[in-house]
Structure 1
Amino acid sequence: MRAPPTRPCSCISGRRTRRMALVWSARPWPARWKAGESLQGCLEEALVLIPEAQHRKTPMFLGATAGMRLLRQKNSSQARDIFAAVTQVLGRSPVDFWGAELLAGQDEGAFGWITVNYGLGTLVKYSFTGEWIQPPEETLVGALDMGGASTQITFVPGGPILDKSTQADFRLYGSNYSVYTHSYLCFGRDQMLSRLLVGLVQSRPAALLRHPCYLSGYQTTLALAPLYESPCVHTTPPLSLPQNLTVEGTGNPGACVSAIRELFNFSSCQGQEDCAFDGIYQPPLQGKFYAFSNFYHTFHFLNLTSGQSLSTVNTTIWEFCQRPWKLVETSYPGQDRWLPDYCASGLYILTLLHEGYRFSEETWPSLEFRKQAGGVDIGWTLGYMLNLTGMIPADAPAQLWAVSYGVWVAKVVFMVLTLVAVVGAALVQLFWLQD
């Protein structure tokens, strides 16, 4: 399996929101309890940002997302072991630990939407006349998130939400919101890459796999068995293949797109206007969208975050996929770990957004690839913390501190330890390899 980044967790902490991009190492641990001990470094970094006198007054939360949802599907007892381990370790910390929980996919998408709109100030504003005003609904921004194991789409549609299982309702600052949200498990970046590789193996079983999404001249050797351990893979490896598979890139974007499209079931939505893919209901897109996490990181690498048209995005990615591996490797020194996957990731995101979510040439300009909103790093974690602490009240605010992020962070010290989707994906890889 490809290794995720090598640090244990992600933190939001202290007087300013800060994402430290710490995720779990894929190196095998000698015992499951180290899943909890590995959070210690992240916790120590966060504590440095909080005055010692405030430690006991600082609430701490831990939330797990799609990777852990996958692990629970595969082995619920292992998932319980991990939660028990992290609860034990964090419970000994000098802060006020409020517990660990596994988030539903719908919650993950909804919290990302809250984070974006809270950062942008589109939920409520304090006017120059000294009054609280609710910005027009058309200023609300949809949220597109992609982790390692899942991807989410959340927005306020222009009409009623016909499938109530995809509806999330909030009352924030005295206003009611009904958003459409859906989380696609197994459609995160890492699980997509694994499913893509398995699909190619199944279609052309051989000791040497010619991979159209890897650049020409690239070659690597992968262990075959771990690819089939994910609950996202619903097949078994061909019996004739060796334990290790040699993969050779051909740099063929057309063949790569064809292989990626096999990961979707577009025919299930044929002729249906309110449908995305795999038979999932989705109302027509409405308003502006912010795409973050792996959406942003992939397109930022490809230099596609400046409002380029859909046709330009398509051309740019295809041209990158056709570049020789040695040339790309030389052009981006020190990035060897992630370089081989940018072609597949770019074409996958393009396919998901254009053919899946149905962003057209006309609606593409409403889509922005962002890392931050209003100076706040975008992700589900801030929305999760705001929900748990009640920092966004249901009733209309009476004083300025209720909405102003800058004033609020000067008054409240907080810390959130989060197991982001890629963390969960790394845990899944870790424990599958140990089974």
Structure 2
Amino acid sequence: MIDAGSSGSRVHVYKFNFCREEPELENEVFHMIEPGLSSFENDPEAAADSLEDLLQIAVESVPASMQKCTPIAVKATAGLRLLGAAKSQRILDAVKNRLEVKYPFPINAVEIMDGKDEGVYAWITVNYLLGNLNVGRGGKSAATFDLGGASTQIVFEPQFPIGNEQMAPGDHIYQLKYGNRQYNLYQHSYLGFGLKEARKKIKSDIIRLREEYAIASGRVYHPCLPENYTETIKWTSHNTTTNVKVIGTNAGHAMCRGVIEKIFGKEKPCPLSPCAFDGVYQPPLTETFSDHELYVFSFFYDLTQPLGMPLQFSVRELGELANRVCSNDVEVFQHVPGAIKVLKQSPDYCLDLTYTHALLRVGYNVPPERLVRTAKKIKDAETGWCLGASIAMIDDNQLCKRY
């Protein structure tokens, strides 16, 4: 499985044992590279070239006798979605041609994955690795919150009291059959609310709010960035493009939060109530998912673990961490190897942590005292959507069989 994400591409080579009632993961080979396919928007062949190292790892990891019956899929996510249909299709065509001409694996798919599948496959991955999907076992499934570069997804199995109203109808419902169970999942993928896209929006919103001043002076001030840190943003208004300097003021977590919370559009009309953010319906976690585990991963993990956070923390503690970083209170991280260096090298750390906290607390309405878990791996397998997508892919292919 090739994960062609917005920030990089990753290969996952899975080995399963099929002698059991459900596939049992025996081994995973994982490697990632940067940048992602979307970085080659005007050079499709260079995009295909960028996957060569990953494809060689796949060849080396699968025995030669099994390569012709080991399926491969390349699934792109929000990075390519944002390029537009024409550019993204040229890249996908170049990648598919490279696989057909040079590599022995039967091709399952080379495509842009639907955002809802991305979220649900991640849900399958986490719950599969936790053992929540074991055949014959009843168990509470965990909710998953994925935060990529361009999009973020939420997936959970709402629990409604018997006799009460059920989930409102709509395309947010994902009916998943796994083993002998039917799962009625809530899912939504928010394109443009991944960390990197949100970061762009948070910076440009300051210009939009003070557009006249920004264009006239060529500068604007931002509370989420370090004092005197400067970044130039191209701003287009009335068919005229101007370079605007965004200058940090290090105003602190509260002031930064005041800017960031505006991007969630909590004031938008809510056609189907209740809504989480951006006018999108979501069953309330406090009422329909009060005693199940919440798993947050990808950038949630990448931002918290270098600063010494445990693998389980409350939403309030995440806000306290953001407050420490935004206060430039770096000495409290002296006990964590490499933490101070990471903070000094990353001018966006205050903004990023404040956004991740606001996404949970303000966006998804997770109470401050609620505990969340984060993980890069569970049982030595990477979290994310790839394992779930691979399990779903198994039934669609003629797999290698030994007699």
TM class by shorter chain equals 0.7 to 0.9
Rate the CA distance shift 1:123–1:388 in 2: closer, same or farther, 3 A.
same
Q: 1:2-401 residue pairs with structure 2 within 5 A?
A: 9-15=9-15, 16-24=27-35, 31-72=43-84, 76-92=85-101, 93-125=103-135, 133-136=136-139, 139-159=140-160, 160-204=166-210, 205=214, 206-217=217-228, 219-224=229-234, 236-237=236-237, 242-243=242-243, 245=245, 247-268=247-268, 274-285=274-285, 286=289, 287-323=292-328, 332=339, 335=342, 339-362=346-369, 364-365=370-371, 367-390=372-395
**What's the offset of the Cα at 1:270?**
8.0
CA contact (8 A) 2:142 2:293 kept: yes
Amino acid at match of 2:99: L
Of structures 1 and 2, the one scoring higher in RCO (CA 8 A, sep 6+) is 1
CA contact (8 A) 2:68 2:105 kept: yes
Amino acid at match of 1:192: A
What is the distance in 2 between the residues matched to 1:368 and 1:332?
Answer: 21
Rate the CA distance shift 1:66–1:83 in 2: closer, same or farther, 3 A.
same
Rate the CA distance shift 1:391–1:371 in 2: closer, same or farther, 3 A.
farther
**What's the offset of the Cα at 1:70?**
1.6
Rate the CA distance shift 1:8–1:278 in 2: closer, same or farther, 3 A.
closer
What TM-score, normalized by structure 2, do the two folds share? 0.81
Tell me, which stretches of 5 or more residues in structure 2 are unaligned? 16-26, 161-165
**What's the offset of the Cα at 1:281?**
0.6
Rate the CA distance shift 1:325–1:198 in 2: closer, same or farther, 3 A.
farther
CA contact (8 A) 1:8 1:38 kept: no
**What's the offset of the Cα at 1:6?**
11
Tell me, which stretches of 5 or more residues in structure 1 are unaligned? 126-132, 226-235, 393-407, 413-435
Amino acid at match of 2:388: G
Rate the CA distance shift 1:332–1:311 in 2: closer, same or farther, 3 A.
closer
What is the distance in 1 between the residues matched to 2:88 and 2:40?
Answer: 16
CA contact (8 A) 1:145 1:153 kept: yes
CA contact (8 A) 1:111 1:381 kept: yes
Q: Which moved more, 1:337-346 or 1:161-170?
A: 337-346
**What's the offset of the Cα at 1:249?**
4.4
CA contact (8 A) 1:119 1:375 kept: no
What is the distance in 1 between the residues matched to 2:11 and 2:238?
Answer: 42
What TM-score, normalized by structure 1, do the two folds share? 0.75
Amino acid at match of 2:279: G
What is the distance in 2 between the residues matched to 1:207 and 1:238?
Answer: 16
Give CA-to-partner distance per residue, 1:271-296, whole Å, 9 cap, x none. Answer: 99721012111002112111111122
Rate the CA distance shift 1:307–1:271 in 2: closer, same or farther, 3 A.
farther
CA contact (8 A) 2:122 2:144 kept: yes
CA RMSD of aligned residues (A): 3.4
CA contact (8 A) 1:153 1:181 kept: yes
**What's the offset of the Cα at 1:81?**
0.7
What is the distance in 2 between the residues matched to 1:382 and 1:196?
Answer: 32
Give CA-to-partner distance per residue, 1:355-412, whole Å, 9 cap, x none. Answer: 11111134x12x21222233321111111111111299xxxxxxxxxxxxxxx9xx99
CA contact (8 A) 2:126 2:378 kept: yes
Amino acid at match of 1:266: K
**What's the offset of the Cα at 1:220?**
3.6
Q: Which moved more, 1:85-94 or 1:171-180?
A: 85-94
CA contact (8 A) 1:62 1:100 kept: yes
Amino acid at match of 2:155: T
Give SS of 1:263's match. helix
**What's the offset of the Cα at 1:262?**
1.5
Amino acid at match of 1:21: M
Amino acid at match of 1:256: C
CA contact (8 A) 1:215 1:324 kept: no
Rate the CA distance shift 1:241–1:318 in 2: closer, same or farther, 3 A.
farther
Give CA-to-partner distance per residue, 1:212-240, whole Å, 9 cap, x none. Answer: 111235x2443525xxxxxxxxxx44888
What is the distance in 1 between the residues matched to 2:142 and 2:329?
Answer: 39
